[in-house]
Structure 1
Amino acid sequence: MAALALAGGASARPALDSHRIAVERFGNDAPWYEGNIPFFESSDPAIDAVYYYRWSVVRAHQRDLGAQGYVTTEFLDDVSWQREPYATLNDATGFHLGETRWLRDRRYAADYVDYMYRGGNDRHFSDYMADAVYGRFLVDGDRGEAIRHLSVMRHIYRAWDERFDFTKGLYWIEPLLDATEYTISSIDASGGKDGFRGGDSFRPSINAYMFANARALSRLAALAGDQAMASEFAGRATALKTRVQDALWQPQFDHFVDRYKVSNEHVKYWEPIRGRELVGYVPWTFNLPDDDPRYAAAWKHLLSPAEFAGAAGLRTVGPGYEHYMRQYRYEGKAPECQWNGPVWPFQTTQVLLGLANLLNNYHQSAINRADYLRLLRQYTAMHSQEGRLDIEEDYHPDTGKPIVGLARSHHYFHSGYVDLILSGLVGIRPREDDVLEVNPLLPDATALGWFRVQDVPYHGHLISVTWDADGHHFGAQGLSIEIDGKRVAHRATVGSLTVPITRIAPKRIARPVNQAVQLIRSEFPKAEASSNNDPEALHDAIDGRIWFYPELANGWTPSPSPAQQWYAIDLG
């Protein structure tokens, strides 16, 4: 018998010393992590290092707004296109909630959702936030939190009708506002001269996002008992799925590709673009395509060195494109962001999420678990530059070195990683019902000798998952699941395990307010100090942002002096 459920549960002592790990990884900031994150260790130290580094990225991007709670930022410091004075952007909300849903303190995700649905989601960019809200519910099981903004979520969805072509049944968008400037559509629409703006197209990305958002709204409406809304959005999701498969799938490419909305002397309305882009895998990020070998054939291109498979990462466009890796845009002499070939962690994350869905939910032979693990390790390696960990904006597919590398680029929260480990590699597959499903994406027992993740919040419990290929590391061979410290299931081989889990109502979220946060520099609270009265340094100390990265200074430091130093805050 491959799987064994243990009646009544057997005691299991924590195998990871979370206090020791937190102190070693995070120093004086260890208490925050010890009280919040699931702890993970494996036989691959590179994955371990990046796992904890990416939790530090999550921590660094939690901005305290005082009475308005916490938000998650994309850039550590301010950029000109953010929403003022909060420093937020909406394009990476799916990644932000995908990571923070695994925190034990649910306030960070909850406050962020509240902020976004109380005016924060200005639709500056496309996003799949409604789907991410539902995805958060699948982890914490809090129905009330999931449906509290349902009417606003519906309003935002309908506002996107301004970019819906009712004759084609699809959404269109300018690639820049899809957070992907310099794509094939925008470059070719300019006649190859530029590509920062323009190139309006019916894209796989926005249509997959809107499919996922509609499906999520249908399911959330059902939770709220609103059957009319549930039916409306189920219908919209079904219609979009049909149109994406009928209109955006191109048999000559075996891929989902853009069709032009724009028509000019260079491109024509409704014509498909002239090549494959990595964005064509985004439909699988949301389980949109049918389980059909015709669609699964797209995944063979991901593995081809002549197409998406760069030596160091996944190209956003293949090298066969005429303007592949041509640099158009600069800040001074420094290259700026483009999506005509560079590796972007944003889309690499989406592809790995989609691949995890493919391997869990589809029947196909184009790609396998060994490919998943290799691509995950390739993405892991990209985080390390000359011995330091730093996730930046984009990378060269041949060398893995950052391309943009501007001051704003360091420790950029525009992608995911923790969620890839927990829901992909470890295989915790969040569900709405009272079942815990674990299916590690390991190709065989030797691919990763052992791992353990400990104290993962799920449906009001803390769960742990352990894999030990030969039993030498943790003392028991195989895959085990613990719920609240009791071992409840085990199998001797790598594979899927499911166990019942009774949902427990989560604890009420505590929301103490930090009164000493200055959002607007000219308003209270105000700071003064004995020395170093640089206004930005004074503001940085009370702007609600905390990080400890050497690449970007943060906070106030007194000027060298033998005199006693002080920093004071006037609350007004």
Structure 2
Amino acid sequence: MNPHRLRAAIGASILAVVLGTASAQASSPAIDTERVAQARFGNDASWYSARIPFFESSDPQIDDVYYYRWKLFRAHQRDLGAEGFISTEFLDDVGWQREPYASLNDASGFHIAEGRWLRDRRYADDYIDFMYRGGNDRHFTDYMADSVYGRFLVDGDRAAAVRHLGAMRHIYRLWDDRFDFTKGLYWVEPLLDATEYTISSIDASGGKDGFRGGDAFRPSINAYMFANARALAKLSAMAGDTTAAADFAARAAAIKARVQDDLWSPALSHFIDRYQVTNEFVKYWQPIRGRELVGYLPWTFDLVDDDARFAAAWRHALDPQGLGGATGLRTVEPSYQYYMRQYRYEGTAPECQWNGPVWPFQTTQVLTGMANLLDHYSQSVVTRSDYMRLLRQYAAMHFQQGLLDIEEDYHPETGRPIVGLARSHHYFHSGFNDLILTGLVGIRPRADDVLEVNPLLPVNGDPQALRWFRAQDVPYHGHSVAVTWDADGRHYGGKPGLTVEVDGAALAHRATMGRLTVPISRLRLPEAERPIAQSVQLVRGQFPKGSASGMADPERVHDAIDGRVWFFPELPNGWDTDATRSPQWFAIDFGKPVRLTRAEIAFFTDGKTFAVPREYRLQVRSGNAWQDVAPSGSRAIGNGITHVRWTETVADRIRLIVRQQPGKRTRLVELKIL
């Protein structure tokens, strides 16, 4: 039987059993979200308590990383003003970003996969709008159309899913410039796949370099384009365009066939690259000579047939001498001639390479593929214990010397960051919370009116098993879902086993770990609130303009109105007062009269150098005079948002005046005026 049909049949049989006893099953005790948010996020708790799904488990390290990853998501939301919010890959500027937004399209799949689980839909909405209104410049490969469809599977909003269908189809067809019509496959330079120094690029240079070159038919770009075509087929069908739906379905089927026929290496038992280029070192259509982690990406998007021949590839991910490094999944096996040879430096600091280091980027993709393998493939290579071991290994990677800070890449034996440049801190080119919700918790989003849950936990007694977990406030098709596992009933004080709740009512239960399905209606979603920040400026020197007292650094002055808010001490962000004078001020000149009603002020504190001001006030300029717009003495908070409201006024300038704490400086991360 087809595994997808088998899954549905099993789920239907379980549903018939559990619904008969659902009324007798009480809901599990809810997580105290206000308490957890305060403990995890301090003064910024209100942002999270209103938006995120909450999670707890018997593994405190997984819990720590889960909440850190929401802090990471929040930090990477850049406010563009009238254009809304986008997700960034690097917190601060890098030379290859799209100006002036600091956007990069290669991480969009992770950004949307994480953001689809927020109860506040604005962030994913705005980001998708931005990317399909010109933001996706195809600087790198991506699978964004598939991500938009994946978001629809969670929220069920058909109108939002098809809103940019024309642009999505257009961008797909633009990739014909990387399509070889004789082979029926896409090719790409590894650098533009966001994976420089791969086997293909190093070997195409004769082992001398590998930053550029090495054009190849890769499992990555072809899996992405398969997933995008499949998504466009489904979205076109939703929009009533049967001709386009058939066209894209045929494209997806053709890519699938070609990947399995031509990118599968029987000798290596793995999906591999073939060269698209011919030079003195490599020849067109020649296969590369080693295994890379990228070979698992076809499973990330369910491209691969349920065939034991293909499933055998997963042995390499578990092999300590293969791709299974001591602290993470290697991108290339140690047998490769140029494994872990460092080619590229910034000064004396090592730069990014994909010839062996562990990358959270691809680790996320492989764990997604492994979850698919375990959920609906018939195979005996990978176990749920393997999945949880690798998930815990990935969670541990987030910690460095006891601090949470995910970076670009890591040494597979030591677990230490390799690149370690300033830009690398709190890097958002990976996912984690989507893995928790779809893998560990096991919510398998679907297009129909069914909630399906299949946690990927091993049986009790396995060292990787969890005794208990609970996820709650999870948005799904307009409802609020909770999933609870309690192996013996002791932690939550109810029936042992797995329970699924919808809008506070327990609708399904089973005593053992396994699959549950629940029918669920599709509710209309409320419109997201979209206040516009009038103070944000992306281009230095244009209105609105920032200025400050004293000889302030123009770059730091601009930081306070650039739409970016984070409180990580590793990356300074904002305008600082000097240490001696008080009071000091920061002003915004709008260049024209504007209506002003409120402010959101972000102050940074570190318990050492920086503290919130002991006093602050806001003033607006009316004519040539400044006047207070709000009473002084409102309590300022650090590492969170200080909200100030006043009766609407019209002014062309506003300024914040601060008096510092004795012996401390004030850092203004962002002054947002709405």
The within-5 A match list for 1:412-427 is 412-427=427-442
Tell me by how many angstroms 1:178 deviates.
Answer: 0.4
Aligned residues: 572
**Which residue, 123, 136, 139 being the options, matches 1:108?**
123
Tell me by how many angstroms 1:564 deviates.
Answer: 1.6
The structure in which a higher percent of residues are strand is 2
Tell me by how many angstroms 1:10 deviates.
Answer: 5.9
Q: Is 1:440 matched up with 2:440?
A: no
Tell me by how many angstroms 1:480 deviates.
Answer: 0.6
**Which residue, 536, 543, 564 being the options, matches 2:583?**
564
Q: Is 1:479 matched up with 2:498?
A: yes
Q: Is 1:63 matched up with 2:78?
A: yes
The match for 2:485 is 467
Q: Is 1:545 matched up with 2:559?
A: no
- SS of 2:212's partner is coil
The match for 1:324 is 339
- Cα distance between partner residues in 2 of 1:265 and 1:543: 48
User: Which letter does structure 1 place at the counterpart of 2:563?
Assistant: G
Unpaired runs of 5+ residues, structure 2, are 1-12, 592-674
Contact 1:260–1:270 under 8 Å retained in 2? yes
- Cα distance between partner residues in 1 of 2:390 and 2:306: 22
- SS of 1:297's partner is helix
Larger of the two Rg values belongs to structure: 2
Contact 2:90–2:427 under 8 Å retained in 1? yes
- SS of 1:423's partner is helix
User: Which letter does structure 1 place at the counterpart of 2:222?
Assistant: N
Contact 1:434–1:501 under 8 Å retained in 2? yes
- SS of 2:509's partner is strand
**Which residue, 262, 275, 283 being the options, matches 1:247?**
262
Q: Is 1:201 matched up with 2:220?
A: no
- SS of 1:133's partner is helix
Between 528-537 and 22-31, report the one with greater CA deviation.
Answer: 528-537
- Cα distance between partner residues in 2 of 1:79 and 1:101: 26
Contact 1:11–1:485 under 8 Å retained in 2? no
- Cα distance between partner residues in 1 of 2:165 and 2:582: 57
Contact 1:281–1:354 under 8 Å retained in 2? yes
Q: Could you report, residue by residue, the CA deviation over 1:119-143 in whole angstroms, capped at 9, with x for unpaired residues?
A: 1000000000000000000001111
Contact 1:15–1:474 under 8 Å retained in 2? no
**Which residue, 203, 213, 227 being the options, matches 2:242?**
227
The match for 1:458 is 476
Q: Is 1:79 matched up with 2:94?
A: yes
Tell me by how many angstroms 1:323 deviates.
Answer: 0.2
Contact 1:188–1:199 under 8 Å retained in 2? yes
**Which residue, 254, 276, 296 being the options, matches 2:291?**
276
The match for 1:355 is 370
Tell me by how many angstroms 1:321 deviates.
Answer: 0.2
Tell me by how many angstroms 1:475 deviates.
Answer: 1.0
**Which residue, 128, 142, 145 being the options, matches 2:160?**
145
Contact 1:36–1:103 under 8 Å retained in 2? yes
Question: Could you tell me the TM-score, scaled by structure 2's length?
Answer: 0.84
- Cα distance between partner residues in 2 of 1:9 and 1:535: 65
Identity of paired residues, percent? 71
User: Which letter does structure 2 place at the counterpart of 1:529?
Assistant: A
- Cα distance between partner residues in 2 of 1:12 and 1:331: 55
- SS of 2:236's partner is helix
User: Which letter does structure 2 place at the counterpart of 1:392?
Assistant: E
The match for 1:314 is 329
The match for 2:111 is 96
Q: Is 1:525 matched up with 2:544?
A: yes
- Cα distance between partner residues in 2 of 1:110 and 1:407: 30
The match for 1:391 is 406
Question: Could you tell me the TM-score, scaled by structure 1's length?
Answer: 0.99
Distance 1:406 1:439, change over 3 A: same
RMSD of aligned alpha carbons: 1.2
Q: Could you report, residue by residue, the CA deviation over 1:331-389 in whole angstroms, capped at 9, with x for unpaired residues?
A: 00000000000000011000000000000110000111000000000000000000100
**Which residue, 474, 499, 503 being the options, matches 2:518?**
499
Q: Is 1:4 matched up with 2:23?
A: no
- Cα distance between partner residues in 1 of 2:443 and 2:176: 35
**Which residue, 383, 390, 401 being the options, matches 1:368?**
383
- SS of 1:399's partner is coil
Contact 1:445–1:493 under 8 Å retained in 2? no
User: Which letter does structure 2 place at the counterpart of 1:472?
Assistant: R
- Cα distance between partner residues in 2 of 1:186 and 1:309: 23
- Cα distance between partner residues in 1 of 2:381 and 2:28: 41
The match for 2:280 is 265
- Cα distance between partner residues in 2 of 1:153 and 1:109: 16
Q: Could you report, residue by residue, the CA deviation over 1:275-322 in whole angstroms, capped at 9, with x for unpaired residues?
A: 110000000000001000000000011111111011011000000000
Contact 1:9–1:486 under 8 Å retained in 2? no
- SS of 2:474's partner is strand
User: Which letter does structure 2 place at the counterpart of 1:457?
Assistant: P
Tell me by how many angstroms 1:396 deviates.
Answer: 0.1
Bigger relative contact order, structure 1 or 2 (CA pairs below 8 A, ≥6 apart): 1
- SS of 2:576's partner is coil
The match for 2:621 is none
Q: Is 1:512 matched up with 2:531?
A: yes
- SS of 2:506's partner is strand
- Cα distance between partner residues in 2 of 1:10 and 1:253: 51
The within-5 A match list for 1:141-220 is 141-220=156-235
- SS of 2:249's partner is helix
- Cα distance between partner residues in 2 of 1:431 and 1:555: 43
Distance 1:492 1:321, change over 3 A: same
Query: Deviating runs (4+, > 6 A) in structure 1?
Result: none
Contact 1:445–1:494 under 8 Å retained in 2? no
The match for 1:131 is 146
Contact 2:29–2:492 under 8 Å retained in 1? no
- Cα distance between partner residues in 2 of 1:32 and 1:498: 32
- Cα distance between partner residues in 1 of 2:52 and 2:575: 28
- Cα distance between partner residues in 2 of 1:371 and 1:12: 31
- Cα distance between partner residues in 1 of 2:222 and 2:302: 13
User: Which letter does structure 1 place at the counterpart of 2:18?
Assistant: L
User: Which letter does structure 2 place at the counterpart of 1:560?
Assistant: A
Contact 2:22–2:506 under 8 Å retained in 1? no
User: Which letter does structure 2 place at the counterpart of 1:398?
Assistant: E
